[in-house]
Amino acid sequence: MTRKYFGTDGIRGRVGEPPITADFLLKLGWAAGRVFANEGNDFVLVGKDTRISGYMFESAMEAGLTAAGVDTRLLGPMPTPGIAYLTRTLRAQAGIVISASHNPYYDNGVKFFSVQGTKLPDDIERKIEHYIDSPMTTVESSKLGKAKRLVDAAGRYIEFCKASVPTRLDFADMRIVIDCANGATYHIAPHVFSEVGAEVVTIGAEPNGLNINDECGATKPEKLAATVLAYRADLGIALDGDGDRLIMVDHKGEIVDGDELIYIIAKSRLDAGQMTGPVVGTLMTNLGMEHGLKQWGIHLVRAKVGDRYVMEMLSEHKGILGGESSGHIICLDKTTTGDGIIAALQIMAEMQSSGKSLHELKSGMQKYPQVLINIKTNKKIRPDTDEGIQKAVQAVEKKLGDKGRVLLRASGTEPLVRVMVEGENEELVKNYANQLAEDVKKAIGA
């Protein structure tokens, strides 16, 4: 069964346009409340990032949950992985995140965590969708839910993050720059890294509701790179608006993406005798990472794009490490979901343990040139079933042979078709990607 409202990462869209409207979020809160009330009688956590629409949607979700008879604990601005952690440790019925992650301020969305701190099972999402399309009712007044703020949420999560690296490690000789993307980590990440001993320079930590992910953070690490060089820092840490992505910068100002970071953590776990199962990447994972892991006897398996699919494959293969080149990194030996802060701490721990710089650690993996072009579309399209697009893909694949690959896919969170070409020769890869993008535009009428 397909889902009507839920995508690969919850429900997301432009604020004021269905379904991201105040009335829909009210109904969604009520629908989720009905489902959670049937599953048990515990409270639900609600957190958000720093975009301005979060105030409106937090109130709407609270009202809907209250009408369904469910108690709510409001967390305020909180990283997505922090909400997952608190949902699990406080044994909440569920955790609700109001965020559009790396998207601009004018987008927003909602995603859910189960009591285990993982994404909701598909059957629970379908039950919620059933109630969304049902008439809204309100429980009898004596059974209405109650809401209150959880004042120590940030402190609890800060301590959890710090505990993910051994206390014997001393980061006092490490200068780092942190870019919080003017998002949900602005009041948390600087504390975490300074409290483990590092000298911290912070940028992107002045959210005003409109500047989240604006030319900063994991999707725009250029400012971070410049700041690392200016302060002669050992490394830079770029998080995204809700804190579940990580991109880093080495001391030379070179950007280190999710694939390279996963490679470093995998090698670290292997050296410590702690590597279990394969590493799980996605269809977008660079061939260089696959080859780099293979030289150490670590197998890579590829999931569909989206951290929920990485999680499913990790569970299936009993793995502990996976993620995406975009910076979603899941360390299941430390937490239950993708967490930018915890992933960064694992990299810093390996730097201290090995005595190597981030630049040296990433050098064991040689990335293939990869060109990604996003094509906006006003209609839903499946590139794998369009005959014209497939002919264009096959033509490029024939030219690449076994020296590269092509991937076309529709985004699960934005109205985009993503065209990716990867191969040994950068100039050829660029040419093939541009030509393929033009062929796709013609086929979809973009």
The 10s digit of each residue's pLDDT in 193-234 is 999 999 999 999 999 999 999 999 999 999 999 999 999 999
Dump pLDDT digits (tens) for 88-140: 999 999 999 999 999 999 999 999 999 999 988 889 999 999 999 999 999 99
CA distance 137 to 63: 12
Residue type (1 letter), 295: Q
On whether both 27 and 86 belong to a single domain, the answer is yes
Q: For residue 37, what are the domain limits?
A: 11-150
Find where tokens 């802060």 sit: 341
Catalytic residue among 53, 99, 101, 268: 101
Per-residue pLDDT tens digits for 395-418: 898 888 877 889 888 776 677 888
Looking at per-residue confidence, does 283 or 446 come out higher? 283
The full length of the chain comes to 446
Residues near 297 by beta carbon (within 8 Å), at least 6 away in sequence? 270
Mean per-residue pLDDT over the chain, rounded: 94
* 222 and 320 within one domain: no
Within-domain flag for 167: no
Residue 54 and residue 23 share a domain: yes
Q: Is 101 a catalytic residue?
A: yes
- pTM for this entry: 0.90
Q: What is the pLDDT of residues 227-257, one digit of tens each?
A: 999 999 999 999 999 999 999 999 999 999 9
Q: Give which of 349, 351, 346 is closest to 329, Cα–Cα.
A: 346
* The two structure tokens encoding residue 220: 């725009």
Residue ending a domain, choose from 119, 150, 181: 150
Q: State the alpha helices, DSSP H only, in 47-97.
A: 53-67, 80-89
Given 237, 256, 275, the domain boundary residue is: 256
219 located within any domain: yes
pLDDT one-digit tens code per residue, 22-49:
999 999 999 999 999 887 768 999 999 9
Q: Determine how many CB atoms are found less than 10 A away from the CB of residue 3.
A: 12
CATH number at residue 319: 3.40.120.10
Tokens 């690490």 sit at which residue?
Answer: 221
State the chain's maximal CA–CA distance in angstroms: 70
Q: Which of 357, 362, 349 has the alpha carbon at shortest distance from 171?
A: 349
* The total number of structural domains that make up the chain: 4
Indicate left, alpha or beta for 298 from its phi (over 0: left) and psi (-120 to 50: alpha): beta
